[in-house]
Structure 1
Amino acid sequence: MAEVLPLSADYVVVGAGSAGCAVAARLSEDPSVTVVLLEAGGRDRNPWLHVPIGYAKTMYHPTLSWNLMTEPEPNLGGRRVPWPRGRTLGGSSAINGLLYVRGQHADYDHWRQLGCTGWGFEDVLPYFKRSEDQERGASALHGKGGPLAVSDLRDRNPLAESFIEAAVELGLPRNDDFNGAEQEGAGFYQTTSRNGWRCSAATAYLKPARGRPNLTVVTDAHSTGLLLEGRRAAGVKLERHGAKLTIKAVREVILCGGAIASPHLLMLSGIGPAAHLQEMGIAVVHDLPSVGRNLQDHFQARLAYRVNQKASMNTRTRTWWGKALMGAEFALRRTGPLTVSAGTAGLFARVLPGSATPDVQFHFLPFSTSATMLELHPFPGMTLSVCQLRPESRGTITLASPDPRAKALIHANYLATETDRRCMIEGAKLGRRLAQTAALSRWVEEEIAPGPGAVSDEDWLEWIRRTGGTIYHPSGTCRMGGDPASVVDPELRVRGIEGLRVADASIMPTVVSGNTNAPAIMIGEKCADMVKAAAKQRLAA
């Protein structure tokens, strides 16, 4: 897995994130083809990238994250919302909260109904299973022996146990597998970790492929545009260590940059909404109006409580002695607070009358943070984060300028519909009811956020607008569909351009009802099979 950039390769994959690592590793399984994987960030050598709680150190890191920001959000009082995205091998899977959630079966069946043939749940399940190394073993819905480790939590905090009991007290079912037959209910999350260490897409897919001479992984390679020959993608332009370079793709280019970078690169290359490209001074190669449209994200609000329970991580991190004990526990047993994911216990529930399946998701955390979400409160605390699973609001990704180094403009357009506002209000009110149950209230001393001043729906909405933000699941900006207006077809081929596919969360026509890392890896797995099948067809022709 050398890092010297060759002049050409059969396949050039742009972006070593969740999907890109899967695509590159699977394609390179065939020793007769050559694969180059380009990553703008560096190698994943920082030790915090491999410790589960490391996301607290890396999410806003100056070099390991892109540290993006939305434009002023009209429905959030003009606030700009931070959007951290991974900038290293593994992409956002290297800095995320590690939760393994696929979404609901109905999510994928809905994709199929939207014209995405071959993307129903029964179609995608084999790829989830193939990617998975499930600690609990293989079953009808789970895989064993795949690259991606999926493990039970190694630290089951008593506050989290009480959160699950609280949900059951309110009549919600106990659910020990959110990726099982049904998603609804409360239980502990599983994480993408192995023996207490994070299992990013780079760890899962690239590490085992290191010895393959036909796979070249190039870091610090900032892709600046596509090399186009008429309406065919013939390669990728990039900058590396100050040099402007080009690598040719003999067969295909596969974009795996994610919901911001993939449409950004398409538009920089003249593929996108013609009027916008002309406004930016970019020659229009192919007018594809949907590029950068259909942006979706899960929006969250965090209820925070002061508790009387020493199990809160706030207490353990306040002293050097507490930190030393946490470090020793991780070093000796790979357990304790350093193994905590961004949500220990979870809940999927319905809060709107018309919802047939869960419409909100809770991430319970045995700690609480300041408004910046970077510093823990100086008192014992816990957090109940609630997000809406299927937002109606749609945003856009647009260019700021034709300069490839200029960050794209993100217009998330949160809370643009009454349904979205109502769902968040009802979800937050459910969070307070959970905290008021006998199971959880015995630990609660005070509601810190939103606080007792939130009484009416207007109070709740004002707090949500003032404090809510992303839960880091941008998707949809290179929408897949069976219609001519979609960006990619169900084979993930960019419409109107030969030799070019997109495989990442940007192809989701609608965001899945849950965390997006596992679905993005599934998309990479499925894309690799599609590319291999197309190559066989060419040989047979």
Structure 2
Amino acid sequence: METFDHIVIGAGSAGCVLANRLSADPARRVLVIENGGSDRDVRVKVPAGILAMYGRPRFDYGFVGTPQPELNGRRIPVNRGRMLGGSSSLNSMLYIRGAPQDYDEWRDLGCEGWGWQGVLPVFKALEGNRIGQDPALHGTEGELCVDRPKDPNPVCQDFIAAGEKLGLPRNTDFNGPSQLGLGIYDVTQRNGIRFSAYNAFLEPVRSRPNLTIWTGTEVRRLVLDGARVTGVEVLREGRPVTVACRGDIVLSAGAIGTPIILMASGIGPGAALQKEGVTVARDLPGVGQNLRDHVDGMITVRSSSTRTLGISLRNAGKLLAAPFRFALGRKGLFSTNYVVAGGFAKTRHAGDLPDVQFHFVPGYRSHRGRLVEWGHGFAIHTCVLRPKSVGEIRLSRQDGFFAPEIDHRFFSDPQDARVLVEGIKLARAIFAAPPMQYLKGREILPGPDVRTDDELLAYLRAEALTVYHPVGTAKMGRDALAVVDPVSMKVHGIEGLRVADASVMPTLIGGNTNAPSMMIGEKCARAMLGWRSAGTGT
């Protein structure tokens, strides 16, 4: 049986950072276990390749949630990255941290050291900003390259200008003093190529002799000796293998994978585990609870304008030139990550902070769910930034193995539905303002006949999805449902086990979750390496 000093389960956004930091000490033997495979594929590297990855088992776990009572009983797809880099190798590459108030809320909920002043230095330490943004808020020496998209579609500027007509300011830095407004998103790219957490933190140090990376390896359960975790049982190359750990094991399997591994190992809500035939090692009722995600509604519009992205005879020249333009200068259709522009706005329900986020697509999003749709147009996704609805992940058995039941409970708090209806109305107003109106679009979804609040709500119940930001299912804190200690990142009541990924977030931040997950990995590494005042981020 092989023995390591540390085992990191999951090579995603947090796990890659953590494995880098732990293996920097040559005296520590570190194993990284990743269920997925390599990221070496043109669809991963080329920004436009994201459309060809969703739903494919090579890249995507392709989870599907449980029927949602408030969404007409529909089962919502939950795409998560299944390769080195995790979802940072599958996402739209947006670099968003959330608002400072999001982290101050964590601090006020009992997570000392996680207020904005505690996490900002950590964000800056990770960031390699190439844009020249405010050095008080951005770092330039970190491994994660943050840049502008190389060739934004010109319609993105029309979208931003239309927002200005409605009083939404042009925002050049959504990680600056204010999120409010519309603009071009910063992206995790280097020279126009996707730059995932794996590319930034793990790939450059793969040659370290004390670092071992296992891909294609499924974690079945943690091995416990009383209240201490001593190893991991995995399925590797088709056979069961047990790996021992003399130090700490860190779960970085994400907000879906982490609670499932915990529960499969007997750590979680006791009664539910016993129902599934799992021997309870530690009754922790919060495992799998507190699931939060951004519920999202889409407007998609047809337009004859070839200024938008699309497939048509009139656009044949651009399509044929796309691979050459990308190869020679990282320009053209292959350079787009589709949601190049967007921003944050306040509905009439908002308080001090924006309560909706836009992801603008300068191309036609299929109203039939197709990967590719003939013609041109544009679309916008609108999501509820700080939802009140809270779901859970339950343990179930499928074909003899443990699997997640993902129950978002979207719209279980009716306030989320009210906010999203207002967000859709605001998005429509942007599309109706000049210069967007000059594109002479014809709305396909929800459609021109869907006008009243009740009609919009009915549309959302039939069509709303998620923008894939699940968090919170092993939250840190000190209340009855807390799973993780906020200073040490150790699982309450279990020795030798820590958690570092989006599952520890006590609430959902107002924005995309990739960058915050990396920050969480760094904070955990600092705690493990004994940084003085690791809990404060200093």
**Shorter-normalised TM range:** over 0.9
Q: Distance in 2 between matches of 1:536 and 1:99?
A: 30
Q: Secondary structure at the match of 1:401?
A: strand
Aligned: 1:527 with 2:524: yes
Q: Give the alignment's Cα RMSD to 1 decimal.
A: 1.8
Aligned: 1:161 with 2:153: no
Kept in 2, the 8 Å contact 1:435–1:444? The answer is no
What are the Cα deviations for residues 183-234 of structure 1, in whole angstroms up to 9, with x where unaligned? 1111110100000100011111111112211111110110000011110111
Q: Distance in 1 between matches of 2:37 and 2:267?
A: 28
Q: TM-score by structure 1 length?
A: 0.95
Q: Distance in 1 between matches of 2:316 and 2:434?
A: 34
What are the Cα deviations for residues 424-483 of structure 1, in whole angstroms up to 9, with x where unaligned? 000000011111112211113311111111111010001111111010101110011132
Q: Distance in 1 between matches of 2:314 and 2:331?
A: 19
What are the Cα deviations for residues 341-364 of structure 1, in whole angstroms up to 9, with x where unaligned? 241111201103342100000011
Task: Pick one of 119, 126, 130 that aligns with 2:125.
Answer: 130
Aligned: 1:472 with 2:468: yes
Letter in 2 for 1:23: L
Q: Distance in 2 between matches of 1:282 and 1:256?
A: 22
Shift in Å at residue 318 of structure 1?
8.3
Shift in Å at residue 312 of structure 1?
1.4
Q: In structure 2, do the counterparts of structure 1 residues 504 and 372 end up closer, same or farther at CA, with 3 Å as the change threshold?
A: farther
Q: In structure 2, do the counterparts of structure 1 residues 316 and 215 end up closer, same or farther at CA, with 3 Å as the change threshold?
A: farther
Q: Distance in 2 between matches of 1:319 and 1:536?
A: 57
Letter in 2 for 1:493: K
Q: In structure 2, do the counterparts of structure 1 residues 172 and 454 end up closer, same or farther at CA, with 3 Å as the change threshold?
A: same
2:320 is matched with which residue? 324
Q: In structure 2, do the counterparts of structure 1 residues 256 and 163 end up closer, same or farther at CA, with 3 Å as the change threshold?
A: same
Q: Distance in 2 between matches of 1:100 and 1:534?
A: 26
Q: Distance in 1 between matches of 2:460 and 2:349?
A: 21
Q: Distance in 2 between matches of 1:340 and 1:400?
A: 39
Q: Distance in 2 between matches of 1:181 and 1:317?
A: 45
Shift in Å at residue 313 of structure 1?
1.2
1:109 is matched with which residue? 104
Q: Which moved more, 1:59-68 or 1:386-395?
A: 59-68
Q: Secondary structure at the match of 1:118?
A: coil
2:490 is matched with which residue? 493
Kept in 1, the 8 Å contact 2:367–2:444? The answer is no
Q: Which moved more, 1:480-489 or 1:181-190?
A: 480-489
2:280 is matched with which residue? 284
For 1:53-452, what aligned pairs fall within 5 Å after superposition? 53-137=48-132, 139-315=135-311, 321-401=317-397, 405-452=401-448
Q: Structure 1 residue runs of 4+, over 3 Å off?
A: 315-322, 371-374, 402-406, 534-537
Kept in 2, the 8 Å contact 1:370–1:377? The answer is yes
Letter in 1 for 2:131: R
Q: Distance in 1 between matches of 2:280 and 2:368?
A: 41
Task: Pick one of 487, 504, 507 that aligns with 1:507.
Answer: 504
Shift in Å at residue 53 of structure 1?
1.5
Q: Distance in 2 between matches of 1:317 and 1:417?
A: 47
Q: Secondary structure at the match of 1:387?
A: strand
Q: Distance in 2 between matches of 1:248 and 1:171?
A: 59
Q: Distance in 2 between matches of 1:413 and 1:508?
A: 18
Q: Which moved more, 1:250-259 or 1:350-359?
A: 350-359
Shift in Å at residue 370 of structure 1?
1.8
Q: Secondary structure at the match of 2:364?
A: coil
Kept in 1, the 8 Å contact 2:367–2:445? The answer is no
Kept in 2, the 8 Å contact 1:98–1:342? The answer is no
Kept in 1, the 8 Å contact 2:349–2:419? The answer is no
Q: Distance in 2 between matches of 1:123 and 1:379?
A: 48
Q: Distance in 2 between matches of 1:414 and 1:461?
A: 13
Q: In structure 2, do the counterparts of structure 1 residues 259 and 317 end up closer, same or farther at CA, with 3 Å as the change threshold?
A: farther
Kept in 1, the 8 Å contact 2:223–2:232? The answer is yes
Q: Distance in 1 between matches of 2:139 and 2:400?
A: 40
Kept in 2, the 8 Å contact 1:280–1:402? The answer is no
Q: Distance in 2 between matches of 1:411 and 1:346?
A: 28
What are the Cα deviations for residues 105-138 of structure 1, in whole angstroms up to 9, with x where unaligned? 1000000000000000111111111111101247
Shift in Å at residue 31 of structure 1?
1.3
For 1:6-21, what aligned pairs fall within 5 Å after superposition? 7-21=2-16
Q: In structure 2, do the counterparts of structure 1 residues 444 and 239 end up closer, same or farther at CA, with 3 Å as the change threshold?
A: same
Q: Secondary structure at the match of 2:435?
A: helix
Unaligned runs of 5+ in 1: 1-5
Q: Distance in 1 between matches of 2:313 and 2:18?
A: 40
Kept in 2, the 8 Å contact 1:54–1:95? The answer is no
1:3 is matched with which residue? none
Shift in Å at residue 305 of structure 1?
1.1
Kept in 2, the 8 Å contact 1:59–1:96? The answer is no
Q: Secondary structure at the match of 1:207?
A: helix
Kept in 1, the 8 Å contact 2:217–2:235? The answer is yes
Q: Secondary structure at the match of 1:72?
A: coil
Q: Secondary structure at the match of 2:260?
A: helix
Kept in 2, the 8 Å contact 1:224–1:404? The answer is no
Q: Distance in 2 between matches of 1:310 and 1:322?
A: 10
